[in-house]
Amino acid sequence: MDKRPIGVFDSGVGGLTVLKELIRCLPRERFVYFGDMARTPYGSKSKETVTRYSRQIVRFLLSEDVKAIVVACNTASAMALDTLEKEFDVPLTGVVKPGAKAAADVTKTGHIGLIGTESTITSGIYENYLKDYRPDTRITGKACPLFVSLVEEGLIEDPVTAEIARRYISGFRDTDVDTLIMGCTHFPMIEDTIQRIAGEHIKLVNPASETARSTREMLEEKDILNDTDISLDEEAYRFFVSDSPERFKKIANIFLPQSVSNARQTDVERF
Amino acid sequence: MDKRPIGVFDSGVGGLTVLKELIRCLPRERFVYFGDMARTPYGSKSKETVTRYSRQIVRFLLSEDVKAIVVACNTASAMALDTLEKEFDVPLTGVVKPGAKAAADVTKTGHIGLIGTESTITSGIYENYLKDYRPDTRITGKACPLFVSLVEEGLIEDPVTAEIARRYISGFRDTDVDTLIMGCTHFPMIEDTIQRIAGEHIKLVNPASETARSTREMLEEKDILNDTDISLDEEAYRFFVSDSPERFKKIANIFLPQSVSNARQTDVERF
């Protein structure tokens, strides 16, 4: 039993879709969320750069006395998680492994589609984890670089987003892909469009829900769940960003049913 | 007369459209270009963050012994140039002042349109400079945040880009705007689309050409032009980036007629 908060980080706002699932699955936990708004996005940056940024963020979160850390960013999970696990002593979990597990559980044909940022797709990390769960599966990946900007501009139900989705996704219809991993935290925001274009026979996998479940398991295993209620008048959810908080608060409203009012800026480069 | 190179920097690749004009206008000059690929884009980030990044880049360029610096990024020119001029002793020029001057020379109605990133538009900096040249002008600005991603994905002549351009720009047709400043270095890449949608009666202004001219004037004034030929077998144009150079080299090919082969990575955060 451990009352300390769980750290959650992302390159920006996308990880809020993961935080939402974490709060739902772990209602007694406190959370510290960090969004790297000064250096967002990560999806087109190199492994070395994403690892350096992630390392600074983990150090910052540890300074906030977190008991565990969820890497709520596919790109950072794909590129930096293995290094972070070697370098830090804190329990860590990412979104890729749970996403791969969920897809392995769902697929019947064994052919899984994956959409994400350029960096996530080319990393090959989903393939690696999938082989662990089900060696008979194979993955067809497709980078969808414009989805992040479209979602952040609020074009959620929009013909432009649908047209771009058609270009990225309709190719899956001509294959025996029966499961499509939304391998970027922004993508569940346009899940309806993706589903419509992929076709109803394809099952969409949102790694966020599975990540929340596997975070719970990790906390149980290490016996660090919080088993007392959090109180309504405490700051149970704290938000930090590397740039001024205005834009974060604005876009957070697209991602969360609640508004974020208390985001604070922190100088993550010094960590 | 000064043989040292001119420093040119941008948040990423966009400044290459400015470099192209600089090379054309100053064929005897050497250049050191820096693209901040690890932290790109700047257009949605705060003044404080963009200033901090720009300051590090100027320090890096000075370590490369440049004789003058061109801030080839509208956002950095809008948000950081005044601070940089106070803090550094090197001759500096941006793209905003020359862009404003060019527009003031062109407009007949005195009503100027401005398209750019969110940060450039909200800074109000173009208005400030325009008032200096022609107090009777007024500006109508429109942030076009998706253009940068669309250009970087290579959607130059594309119905999606045209549709987004219609949403951003067609409003200018119902006004007496007769001049439209392309206040972001990516936008000249889709100049044909912008022109078509704005209408032929609107004159587009690309600040890059005027920036090149005003850089020449600045060098003449300070008597630091290079008056001997640069040789074909020297590295007259050097490129540095803050992330691994692969993506920079790839996108540079969209922006430049020549390819960039010698981009090197530098750790700009330590400056």
**Tens-place pLDDT, residues A68-120:** 999 999 999 999 999 999 999 999 999 999 999 999 999 999 999 999 999 99
**Residue B144: active-site member:** no
What average pLDDT does this structure show over B66-90? 97
Q: What is the pLDDT of residue A219?
A: 97
Domain ranges in chain A with CATH number 3.40.50.1860: 6-94+209-270, 97-207
Q: What is the pLDDT of residue A254?
A: 85
Rounded to 10°, the helix A74-87/A47-63 angle is 70
The residue from A8, A103, A184, A198 that is catalytic is A184
The residue from B73, B182, B219, B241 that is catalytic is B73
What average pLDDT does this structure show over B134-148? 95
Write down how long chain A is: 271
What average pLDDT does this structure show over B29-48? 96
Residue B145 and residue A149: Cβ atoms within 8 Å?
yes
> Chain A partners of B243 at a C-beta cutoff of 8 Å?
45-46, 49
Q: Yes or no: say if B265 and B240 are a contact pair by the CB < 8 Å rule.
A: yes
Just give the CATH number of B6-94+209-270. Answer: 3.40.50.1860
Distance from CA of A39 to the nearest CA of B (A): 5
Quick one: tokens of A181?
Answer: 């991993």
Quick one: tokens of B242?
Answer: 């803050």
Q: How far is CA A227 from CA A28, A110, A217, B110, in A?
A: 7, 39, 14, 67
Q: What is the pLDDT of residue B233?
A: 75
Give the CATH number of domain B96-208; options: 2.60.40.1120, 3.20.20.240, 3.40.50.1860, 3.40.50.2000.
3.40.50.1860
Q: What is the pLDDT of residue B261?
A: 85
Distance from CA of B98 to the nearest CA of A (A): 28
Domain ranges in chain B with CATH number 3.40.50.1860: 6-94+209-270, 96-208
Integer Cα distance of A119 and B102 in angstroms: 40
Residue B164 and residue A160: Cβ atoms within 8 Å?
yes
Tell me the pTM: 0.93
Closest partner CB to A45 (pick from B44, B150, B243): B243
Integer Cα distance of A37 and B39 in angstroms: 10
Q: List residues of chain A with CB under 8 Å from any CB of chain B.
A: 37-39, 44-46, 48-49, 145-146, 149-150, 153, 159-160, 163-164, 242-244, 246-247, 269
Integer Cα distance of A269 and A183 in angstroms: 27
Q: What is the pLDDT of residue B189?
A: 95
Distance from CA of A255 to the nearest CA of B (A): 18
> Chain B partners of A160 at a C-beta cutoff of 8 Å?
160, 163-164
Q: What is the pLDDT of residue B38?
A: 97
Distance from CA of B109 to the nearest CA of A (A): 32
**Residue A25: active-site member:** no
Integer Cα distance of A233 and B163 in angstroms: 48
Interface test with B, best of A13, A49, A123, A251 (most B CBs within 10 A): A49
Q: Half-sphere exposure of B60 toward its Cβ, with a 13 Å CA cutoff?
A: 24
Residue A46 and residue B243: Cβ atoms within 8 Å?
yes
Residue A38 and residue B44: Cβ atoms within 8 Å?
no
Distance from CA of B41 to the nearest CA of A (A): 8
Closest partner CB to B243 (pick from A49, A150, A269): A49
Write down how long chain B is: 271
Q: List residues of chain B with CB under 8 Å from any CB of chain A.
A: 37-39, 44-46, 48-49, 145-146, 149-150, 153, 159-160, 163-164, 242-244, 246-247, 269
Integer Cα distance of B138 and A166 in angstroms: 41
Interface test with A, best of B42, B47, B48, B49 (most A CBs within 10 A): B49
Integer Cα distance of B154 and B179 in angstroms: 26
Q: What is the pLDDT of residue B235?
A: 87
Q: What is the pLDDT of residue B123?
A: 93
Which residues fall within 8 angstroms of residue A257, CB to CB, at 6 or more apart? Answer: A20
Assembly ipTM: 0.91
> Chain B partners of A49 at a C-beta cutoff of 8 Å?
38, 242-244
Side chain identity, residue B222: K
What average pLDDT does this structure show over B160-179? 97
> Which residue positions in chain A have pLDDT lower than 70?
none
CATH fold group of domain A97-207: Rossmann fold (3.40.50)
Q: What is the pLDDT of residue B86?
A: 98
